[in-house]
Amino acid sequence: MAHYHLLRKLPVGGEGGWDYVTIDSAARRLYVSRGTRVLVLDVDSGGAVGEIPGTQGVHGIALAPEARRGFTSNGRTSTVTIFDTGTLAVLAEVKTTGENPDAILYDPASRRVFTFNGRGKNATAIDAATGTVAGTVALEGKPEFAAADGKGRIFVNIEDKNQVTVIDSHALRVEKNWPLASCEEPTGLAMDRAHRRLFAVCHNRTMAVLDAGSGRTVASLPIGEGVDAAAFDSSTSLVFASNGDGTLTVVKQDGPDTYRVVENVTTQRSARTMALDEKTHRVFLAAAEFMILPLVAGTIPGVIAGLFLLKKVESVRTLGLIGLSMLVACAYFLFAEWRGARNARERDLSELTLADALWIGMAQAAAGLMAGFSRSGFTISTGRVRGLDRGEAARFSFLLALPIILGAGAKALLDLHKTPQPAIGSAALAAGFVSSAVVGFIAVRFLLRFLKTHTLRPFAMYLAALGLLLLAFTYARHLPLLAALSR
């Protein structure tokens, strides 16, 4: 078996993030979602063919070859754009029956297009020929990728329930719900129709192989971190998982129930979605360069605040002000979680803009000036408000803190060096540095994993309780009972 490796990079350019990529192997076209439009490239030359405009918050693209039509799921407007696959002309726009349509799939058996609506927790069925809504299928949780068996059954991952749901595409009803015991937060889903096997890729770095008839898990395999998509090549019996950590896991199918990982190909960080060209057996992955410029831009507000404002603010800090700051932080954290849950699409760091970085940097500066504000909590919350995924916002928060911490540490060392008789020796200082670095690394790693599946609400409640307690003790003199308790 030939090893997979990077062949070339196709520069796309322009603004906007991306989500799914879809390939039309017969027509040699690659469809790339780009935030407010879909770019269409020639698969062989890499050149631009055209674009489909007006797809606000586009997630995915589905193709119906018999009808010569394509369909896009537009998360921000909860619509589907219908276009001509030959001319790329927009033909119509259809409203979905649930909010935030994400994954989209054409089912050849029913000749219907299905959108899987993340916030609506349902699926909308649209007749591919007429563009009319055929019905809605209620689901138990948030749907992700789906796969069709070509015989009237659709399988869809339910991310927040760790299960696969089976849908009858003709009757528009749920037939079964299969739990994924070895899988946490399933995203991508692919299918081997000949052997009736499903490949669900999950955020706990696992690929689960299921029997599509019974739902039984027949194999579990390790994959990379930050996975989003899966694909199966029936000609080579290879299964692929595209991982945001910059790897492509390649799994060999030796038999319907026998699998092995053959390689983890280095791709590029953030290359988490993909499309498989069935003609050439090549994999196309969408990714973006994470530039150093946003990190520099986000650091500037903190540097200015530290150099010119910190000493002035420190002189007016009181327990009452700290308690009030904690209540403000609590309210902001809760607002950020509410706002983040309503984002049409959560972005990752590869889609970070300078404006995002500056806003998050200003949040870091404000948190550093106001006692009682959690620096990481404030920056993560601002990232959520700006549309970042919670885990990605946490990553940028900790990255942004590094220059400030290093700068503050360097300044403290200089001040210590100027002291005639330092109160601490070099050995103790080195030991403290090493121990704090180790503990800090462990804490950051834990928090990054924790925030992938948990919100900041518990921390917000903690701040609210502590803030109220500080205010109560600060103003206890106005309440005789509290005054007695505070003595």
What average pLDDT does this structure show over 365-377? 76
Residues linked to residue 198 through DSSP beta bridges, in sequence order = 191, 210
Q: Which residues of 293-303 are buried (b: 16+ CB within 10 A; e: fewer)?
A: ebbebbbebbe
- Rounded to whole angstroms, how far apart are CA atoms 340 and 415? 42
> Are the C-beta atoms of residues 208 and 197 closer than 8 Å to each other?
no
What average pLDDT does this structure show over 395-406? 76
Q: Report residue 450 as tokens.
A: 């924790």
Beta strands in 43-111 (DSSP E): 48-52, 58-64, 69-74, 79-84, 90-95, 101-107
Distance of CA 286 to the CA centre of its chain: 14
Residues linked to residue 106 through DSSP beta bridges, in sequence order = 113
Nearest to 148 by CA among 108, 183, 118, 184: 108
Q: Report residue 292 as tokens.
A: 């150093």
Q: What is the DSSP letter of 420?
A: S
Exposed / middle / buried, residue 92 (Cβ in 10 Å: 0-12, 13-18, 19+):
middle
Contacts 24+ apart (CB under 8 A), 158-167: 158/186, 159/185, 159/186, 159/187, 160/185, 162/186, 162/202, 164/189, 164/198, 164/200, 164/210, 164/215, 165/139, 165/140, 166/215, 167/114, 167/123, 167/137
Provide the pLDDT for residue 29: 96
Which stretch of 30-39, 65-74, 281-290, 310-319 has the lowest confidence by average pLDDT?
A: 310-319
Does this model's pTM top 0.85? My answer is no
Which stretch of 13-22, 254-263, 333-342, 420-429 has the lowest confidence by average pLDDT?
A: 420-429
Q: Report residue 400 as tokens.
A: 């942004």
Which of 106-110, 318-322, 464-468 is predicted most confidently?
106-110
Provide the pLDDT for residue 386: 87
Instruction: Report residue 389's pLDDT band, with 50, 70 and 90 as the boundaries.
Output: confident
> Are the C-beta atoms of residues 265 and 242 closer than 8 Å to each other?
no
Residue 248 has pLDDT above 90, yes or no: yes
> Are the C-beta atoms of residues 78 and 121 closer than 8 Å to each other?
no
- Helix (H/G/I), strand (E/B), else coil: 114: strand
Provide the pLDDT for residue 138: 97
Q: Report residue 149 as tokens.
A: 């068996």
Nearest to 201 by CA among 153, 145, 283: 145
**Which of residues 321 and 205 earns the better pLDDT score?**
205
Residue 421 has pLDDT above 70, yes or no: no
**Secondary structure percentages of the chain, helix, strand, coil, to 5:** 35, 35, 35
> Are the C-beta atoms of residues 380 and 394 closer than 8 Å to each other?
yes
Nearest to 354 by CA among 293, 313, 266: 293
Q: For residue range 187-207, list pLDDT tens digits in order.
A: 999 999 999 999 999 999 999
Nearest to 368 by CA among 426, 310, 311, 419: 310
Instruction: Report residue 165's pLDDT band, with 50, 70 and 90 as the boundaries.
Output: very high
Name the residue type at position 244: G
Contacts 24+ apart (CB under 8 A), 336-342: 336/380, 336/381, 336/382, 336/384, 336/385, 336/456, 337/381, 337/384, 337/455, 337/456, 337/457, 337/460, 339/384, 339/385, 340/384, 340/385, 340/387, 340/390, 341/119, 342/119
Other beta carbons within 10 Å of 362:
19
Provide the pLDDT for residue 344: 58
Domain boundaries defined on the chain: 21-286, 293-477
> Are the C-beta atoms of residues 60 and 32 closer than 8 Å to each other?
no
Q: For residue range 110-155, list pLDDT tens digits in order.
A: 999 999 999 899 999 999 999 999 999 999 999 999 999 999 999 9
Provide the pLDDT for residue 126: 98
- Rounded to whole angstroms, how far apart are CA atoms 78 and 96? 6
Nearest to 267 by CA among 320, 304, 203, 223: 223
What kind of fold does domain 21-286 have according to CATH?
Answer: Methylamine Dehydrogenase; Chain H (2.130.10)
Q: For residue range 262-274, list pLDDT tens digits in order.
A: 999 999 988 999 9
Residue the block writes with tokens 């831009």? 297
Helices 390-418, 375-385: axis angle to 10 degrees equals 150
